[in-house]
Structure 1
Amino acid sequence: MGGPQAALASIDPERLRFVSPGESWIERIDVWMIPVLGSLVAQEPIARFLGAKSPATARKGGILAALLYLAVGFIPLAFGLMAPALPVLHGEGDLFLPTLARELLPAGLFVIFAGALFSAVLSTVDSALLAISGLATENLYRRVRPASDARERLIAARTITALAGLSALVIALSGESIYGLVEIASSFGSAGILVCVLAGLYTRFGGQLSAFAAILSGLV
């Protein structure tokens, strides 16, 4: 594309608008809040700061992770902004990045890219499934059957993992785009959990029943 300056010059200024034509600020903020606020109570950051050895380590780790997230996330963002000027097929939608790699990379590097892409997806999926089974087994099944032994809980966890995987498959097959699936995953239940987390951290309002009500409301 002639270097970084030419690449930046090829970006259509309309693509840098925060609000698209015909869209209100409220609609745009609503779209942004789903993944942003949903990520605050996602399994990945919570598992990492709960595993930190001190509050200072958790704070530094969170800031460093956010900076790395922005740096790495800028790469596909840049490709998306420069997409109209790139010498690849257009109109691929969710397959744009793999199409770009297929068109520009040698066969060997494309195989490595595809493997890395699948590895990243599978890593995220298995972490989410294990989190679901662990939370459901410890917080729900163990309360329903407090006398259950380790073997019974292991079977329950494996069953929940399989059911969660099948549910995720059904949702994925019914989705129309990757963005839509990410939106569903970020919004499902996150509203209620976010309310519980913020209320628990910064207020003394409510109790167990209030938390359950907030979580159930967030599922609607």
Structure 2
Amino acid sequence: GAPTKELFYSLNPTFLTGWQSIATSKNLGTIEELNANGVEVFFTKSQKTSNLDDIYEDILYFGKRLNLEENAKKVVENMKSEIEKVKVFNSGKKKVKVFAYDSQESAPFIIGGNGIGNTMIELAGGENIFKDSNFGFGTGNWEKVLDENPELILIVDYGDKSYESKIKFLKQESPILELQAVKENRFVRIPLSYISSGIKVSKGIEKISEGLREVQE
């Protein structure tokens, strides 16, 4: 969460970045108020994007802002070449149907079609079964998972509910326990930081692609 206003200003900040929700009147104040108090505010484009170019742009911006321009350029070049390798590997291979499961039991909380997670699944050689939804993360439904019969289940790993406990739920109690992918343990673990906008997306794409390989062969 955000620090209190008092703590924030006691540190004499001149620059603020992070989640957009911190620049609201109930947190650290509006952008106008922060600017008036000598704080420059920058929110990354990539918080609300499904486009890799926005992530590159943010990295290059921080490079400039923090006098690490050469480093930032290298980071972006490496990311691009890692992703290019995956694309080349996948060219001509059939797309693998993927169900990207985050959490929740009564209805699955999932990766939808309108965020960077969906772009990553596609670049890795997959097809997100919830690609037609208009959110990045949101609530899907078990019926669609059953209808689509995905070949692979991507499980987002973070927080206090372990990867193992999510698999246990899917295999023992979920409405999709009879699906082939579930029975055959076709699960791929992806840490949340690898499927969130940032410098780990190319590694995330590699990770997903590796998980898809067994199904592609």
TMscore range, shorter length: under 0.3
| More helix by percentage | 1
Larger radius of gyration: 1
| More strand by percentage | 2
- What is the TM-score of this pair, normalised by structure 2? 0.25
More contact order relative to length (CA 8 Å, sep ≥ 6): 1
- What is the TM-score of this pair, normalised by structure 1? 0.25
